[in-house]
Structure formats: C-alpha cells, structure tokens
A = this chain, B = another copy of it.
Amino acid sequence: MKKIAVFRKEHFNAAHRLHNATLSDAKNAELFGKCNNPNYHGHNYELIVKLTGEVNPETGYVYDTKELSKLLKENILERFDHKNLNLDVPEFKSINPTAENIVLVIYDILRAQIDTRYELNLRLYETERNFVEYPA
C-alpha cells in the first residue's frame, strides 16, 4: 500500500529555564549558561506533526488536517501556549525542559491520542536555528 505523510504546523509561546536540580548552581551555570537564568526566558516554539499512513479513498485524506489541528489545540496548545513550562506543565516539574525533553513529552501525549495505524514523528523549533526531531 502507498504510504503518504501529512504534516501540520502549530506554534506556542512559552517561558522556560534549563536547570538540573540535582546539580550545583555552579554546574548548572556551566552546563546551561544564560539559559539557566532563574527568572526564565522564552521562545516562540514551532511544532510540526507528521502522520504517515494510507489515503482514505472516501476523503482523499490520510488524516484531516482540520481534525489534526483541533487535536493539537486541545492536547498541546492548551497545555503549553502562554505557559511557563517549568512551573505550569506538570511533566517538567522533574524533567529539564530542553527541546529534546519537550518533544519527548509532546510525543507521549500525542501517541496516546492518535490511532496506531499512523506513524507519528515530530519536529520542534526552539528558534529558527535550533530544532529537534523525534523519533529520529
């Protein structure tokens, strides 16, 4: 069967601080530099969700991007947009909100919401020049 990938891009604006509470302040400063600012800084995150599957012959869609956008608004943007990732998102109470860890958290949320007949891959831009993909 022919497999096609469908992509939907969404964005959210959030504050975060990179910090590992099990390490000393000096070690945190060394590892994370200005990203360790205790007062936080922030980003316009761009999230690209990729679903791979077969075309539904009735609709011509692999997955309706209007439905995908709605699912992302309810499950990701409601939780992440205009939030402080460290303080407002429970998953980051004990996990450092690097782009790598954010994409893993988003993946777990979405994988539970999307039928397993679709392969799921994510790209997350922290800035135009720094971004991550999972699964790689």
Contacts and interface: CB of A to CB of B under 8 A. Distances in A.
Nearest to A35: B82
A61 B98 contact: yes
Give the most central of A10, A41, A87: most B CB within 10 Å. Answer: A41
A101 interface: yes
The size bracket of the interface on A is 35 or more
B133 A5 contact: yes
A60 B135 contact: no
Contact of A2 (B9, B14, B129, B135): B135
User: How many copies make up the complex?
Assistant: 6
A74 interface: no
B4 A37 contact: no
Contacts of A60: 18, 20, 95-98, 100-101
Question: Which among A20, A44, A62, A64 has the highest number of chain B CB atoms within 10 Å?
Answer: A44
A55 B100 contact: yes
Contact of A14 (B41, B52, B127): B41
Contacts of A127: 11, 13, 44
A26 to B, nearest CB: 14
A34 to B, nearest CB: 4
A7 B58 contact: no
